[in-house]
Amino acid sequence: MHHIEAAKSKTAWVLLALAVGGFAIGTTEFATMSVLPLFAHGLGISAPVAGHVISAYALGVVVGAPTLAVLGARLDRRDLLIALMALFAVGNTLSALAPNYHWMLVFRFISGLPHGAYFGVAALVATSLVPENRRTVAVGRMFLGLTVATIVGVPFANWLGHAIGWRWSFGFAAFMGAVTMTCVRLLAPSTPAATGASPLRELNALKRPQVWYTLGIGAIGFGGLFAVYTYLANVLASVTHASIGTASLVLSVFGIGMTIGNLVVPMFADRAVMRTAGLLLVWSALTLLAFPLAAPNVWAVAVDVFLIGMGGALGTVLQTRLMDVAEDAQGLAAALNHSAFNTANALGPFLGGLAIAGGFGWTSPGWVGALLALGGLGVWAVAGAAQRGADRRAAQRTRAACQTLVHD
C-alpha cells in the first residue's frame, strides 16, 4: 500500500512539473491579446497591425509542432521537453527586448515554435506514468496548467504590463519557462524514445485517415469556443453593459469552466473517448446557441460562459484519441493536435468577425460557433463511420484467413 501511495505521489509531482510548462505557454498565448494595446503603443503601430504579432505566434505553433516533434523523435523525452522550454524562454526574452515591430514578429514566431511539440511530448510522458484506463485523466491534469493560466497567469501578466511595462509581461513568461526547465529536470523521469523511433516513422502518422479525421474535428469543432472568447469583452461592454471589474470576473469564469472541464470530463473519456468527444461537440453547440440569448443578462452570460469553457475539455479528449490512432507515430500526432487547435483559433475569430462586420451584431459569433461545433460533429460522424468500416473489413479478413487454415 505504501509503495502504491509513493508511486501516486511521484506521478502527481511529474504532472505538476509538466503543468507548469502549460501555465507558461498559456500565459504568453492569452496575455499577448490583453496587452496588445500596450505594445502597439510602445512599438508605434496601430492595433490591427499589432494583431499580426498574435498571428505570428500562431503560425509558429502550426509550423513548429510537427517540425520539432519529428526532429526530436530519437531524443529522450525529458531532454526534449527541457530543450523546447529553453527555446520558449529565449523567444519570450527576445520578445521583451524587441526594438521594433518587425523584430517582434520574428520573436513571437520563435516563441510559438515549441508550443505544440511541448504539449505533445508532455502528453506522451504523462500517459506513460499511469495505467491505460487513466490516460485521459493524466493528460487533463497536465493541461490544467494551461487552463489555470487563463485564471491567474493572464491577469497577473496583464497587471504587470500596466504597472511596470508591457515588456515585463513577456519577461514573466520567459521566467516561467526557466522555472519549467528546472521542474522538469528535477521531477520528471528520464523517458527514452520508443524503440525504433525515427523522423521517418513519425511521418507515418500522416498516412492514417483517422489521424486526419481527429485533427479535423479539433480544427473545426473547437473554432466556436474561440469565436465567442475573442469577442467576449466587446459583448460584455456593448450588450451586457457590464463594468470593467464585472467583465474581468466573467472572463475568469471562462477559465474556471475550462479547468473544471479538464478535471471532470477525462474520467468519462477514459471509458469511451470518441463518444465523449461527440457529446462535447453537442454540448458546445447548445451552449454557443444559448450565448446570444444569455448575453443581455450578466448572470445568464456568466453561467453560459462557464459552460462554454467546460467544452474546452475537447482538446484533452482528442489528445488521447490521436495517441490511439497514431499507433507507433505518437509524437507527431500528439503535437499536431495543437496545430489543429491553432487553426481553430484562426478560423473561429475570422468567421465571427465576418458575422459582426456583416451587421449581425456582437453576439453573432455564438451562432457561428454553434455551426462550427456542428461541423466538427459532422467530421466526428464521418470518422466513426470510417472506423466501423475498417473494423468490418479487418474482421472479414480474419474470418477469411481462419477459413483458409481450416481448408488447408
pLDDT tens for residues 2-15?
Answer: 555 555 678 888 89
More confident residue, 120 or 308: 308
Distance CA 290, CA 233 (A): 17
Query: What pLDDT shows up at residue 91?
Result: 96
Mark whether 297 and 156 lie in a shared domain.
no
Distance CA 11, CA 21 (A): 16
Per-residue pLDDT averaged across 65-70, rounded? 85
Among residues 197, 231, 251, which one ends one of the domains? Answer: 197
Q: What is the CATH number of the domain that holds 35?
A: 1.20.1250.20
Mark whether 261 and 159 lie in a shared domain.
no
Per-residue pLDDT averaged across 71-75, rounded? 82
Mark whether 253 and 395 lie in a shared domain.
yes
Mark whether 75 and 218 lie in a shared domain.
no
Distance CA 199, CA 172 (A): 34
Give the least confident one: 144-148, 177-181, 236-240, 396-400: 396-400
Per-residue pLDDT averaged across 390-404, rounded? 74
Other beta carbons less than 10 A from residue 283's beta carbon:
19
Mark whether 22 and 150 lie in a shared domain.
yes
Mark whether 290 and 179 lie in a shared domain.
no
Which residue type sits at 371? L
Percentage of residues in the chain having pLDDT higher than 70? 93
Distance CA 99, CA 110 (A): 16
Q: Show the cell assigned to 179.
A: 522555472
Query: What pLDDT shows up at residue 214?
Result: 92
Query: What pLDDT shows up at residue 151?
Result: 85
Mark whether 161 and 208 lie in a shared domain.
no
Question: Per this entry, what is the length of the chain?
Answer: 408
Mark whether 142 and 44 lie in a shared domain.
yes
> What value does the CA radius of gyration of the chain take, rounded to a whole number of Å?
22
Among residues 170, 197, 224, which one ends one of the domains? Answer: 197
Mark whether 126 and 234 lie in a shared domain.
no
Mark whether 176 and 314 lie in a shared domain.
no
Mark whether 363 and 340 lie in a shared domain.
yes
Other beta carbons less than 10 A from residue 6's beta carbon:
10
Query: Is the per-residue pLDDT at 289 higher than 80?
Result: yes
Query: Is the per-residue pLDDT at 376 higher than 70?
Result: yes
Mark whether 227 and 173 lie in a shared domain.
no
Percentage of residues in the chain having pLDDT higher than 90? 38
pLDDT digits (tens, 9 = 90+) for 157-169: 888 888 888 999 9
pLDDT digits (tens, 9 = 90+) for 24-66: 999 988 787 778 778 888 888 876 677 788 878 888 888 888 8
Query: Is the per-residue pLDDT at 406 higher than 70?
Result: no
Number of domains in the chain: 2
Query: What pLDDT shows up at residue 339?
Result: 84
Range of the domain at 117: 1-197
Per-residue pLDDT band for 195 (boundaries 50, 70, 90) equals: low
Among residues 140, 173, 197, which one ends one of the domains? Answer: 197
The closest alpha carbon to 21, from 119, 128, 96, belongs to: 119
